[in-house]
Amino acid sequence: MQIPYTVEPRPDTGLYNAKLGVWLFLASEVMLFGALFSALILLRTGATSWPHGYEVLNVPLATINTMVLITSSVSMVMSWAALRLGDFGKYRKWMGLTFLLGLIFMVIKTIEYAAKFEHHLYPSHDNFMATYFTLTGLHGLHVLGGMIVIAYLLGPGSKMWMTEPERYTNRVEVIGLYWHFVDLVWIFLFPTLYLL
């Protein structure tokens, strides 16, 4: 027996299963990052000394990374829009660009980390470096996870477009929601870690 509402929305909730699922997952992610932000605030409030982010971290590089991530969010929505218009070729270009931007973000992040390690700044250095590495590291893992799903949707997962185009479009919407959330987390991480 088929599970209902995998593609079409249920009339009373107006949602298909995966969309409600991803929003619930994002709600739990809000609490995960919320706890980490809470930790950051509590540690900083109680600290005798806490450096300004811009004294220790590379602001220009992080600004570029912010732009990269914002651009990837736009390319993500554009890919979804293209798919809704039935233009699979255009979708592939936009989605491919999203993947590429995710990759650029990770490369810049790696350069940033490497520079810190070169100056012997490790997580154990002080609680500022500890929060910096933990929060950006966890965020980076989320970017990586998103990239894996995007790669799957562009690669083996794209066969679904031929058989169940609506369900495939839904999948793109769902990964899009996740991707924008990861962008949103960065929008808060960037000023709290780098600019304050």
Partner 1 sequence: MSGHSVEEIRRETRVYILVFVALAVLTLVTVGVSYLHLSFGAAVGLALFIASIKGSLVAAFFMHLISERRLVYAVLILTMIFFVALILLPLGGYHDRLG
Partner 2 sequence: MSASEEQAVGAQDHAAEHHELPFWQRYIFSQDHKVIGLQYAFTALCFLLFGFCLMLIMRWQLAFPGRPVPIIGGLLGSANAPGGIMLPEFYNQLGAMHGTIMVFLAVVPLLVGAYGNYLVPLQIGAPDMAFPKLNMASYWCYLPGGLIMLASFFVPGGAANSGWTSYPPLSNIATSGQTWWLVGMIFLITSSLLGSVNFIVTIFQLRAEGLDFMRLPMFVWSQLVTSFLLLLAFPPLEAAGILQLMDRVAGTSFFMPSGLVVSGEVLEVAGGGNPLLWQHLFWFLAHPEVYVLILPAMGIVAEIIANNTRKPLWGYRPMVYSAVFLGFMSFIVWAHHMFLTGMGTAISSFFQTTTMIISVPSVVILSALLISLWGGSIRFNTPMLFALAFLPMFGIGGLTGLPLGLAPSDIHLHDTYYVIGHFHYVVAPGTIFAIFAGIYYWFPKITGRQMSERLGKLHFWPSLIFMNGIFMPMFVQGLAGVSRRLYDGGAQYSHAQGVLHWNAFMSMSAFGLLVAQIPFIINLFVSIRWGVKVGSNPWDATTLEWVAAPSPPVAHGNFPELPVVTRGPYEYSPPESDESFLPQNAVA
Residues within the interface to partner 2 (CB under 8 A): 1-6, 10, 13, 15-18, 20-21, 24-25, 27-29, 31-36, 38-39, 42-43, 46-48, 122-127, 130-131, 133-134, 138
**Position 177 contacts partner 1 (CB under 8 A):** yes
Q: Are 174 and 19 in contact (CB under 8 A)?
A: yes
The encoded tokens of residue 192 equal 């709290």
**Position 11 contacts partner 1 (CB under 8 A):** no
Nearer to partner 1, 71 or 127 (CB): 71
Cα dihedral 92, 94, 99, 100 sign: positive
Nearer to partner 1, 117 or 193 (CB): 193
**In angstroms, what is the minimal distance from the CB of 121 to partner 1?**
20
Helix 127-154 and helix 17-46: axis angle, to 10°? 170
d(C-alpha 193, C-alpha 6), whole Å: 40
Closest CA to 8 of 166, 172, 157, 165: 166
Cα dihedral 56, 41, 142, 180 sign: negative
Residues contributing to the site for partner 1 (CB under 8 A): 13-15, 19-20, 23-24, 27, 30-31, 34-35, 37-38, 41-42, 45-46, 54, 59, 63, 66-67, 70-71, 73-74, 76-78, 81, 84-85, 166, 169-170, 173, 176-177, 180-181, 183-184, 187-188, 190-192, 194-196
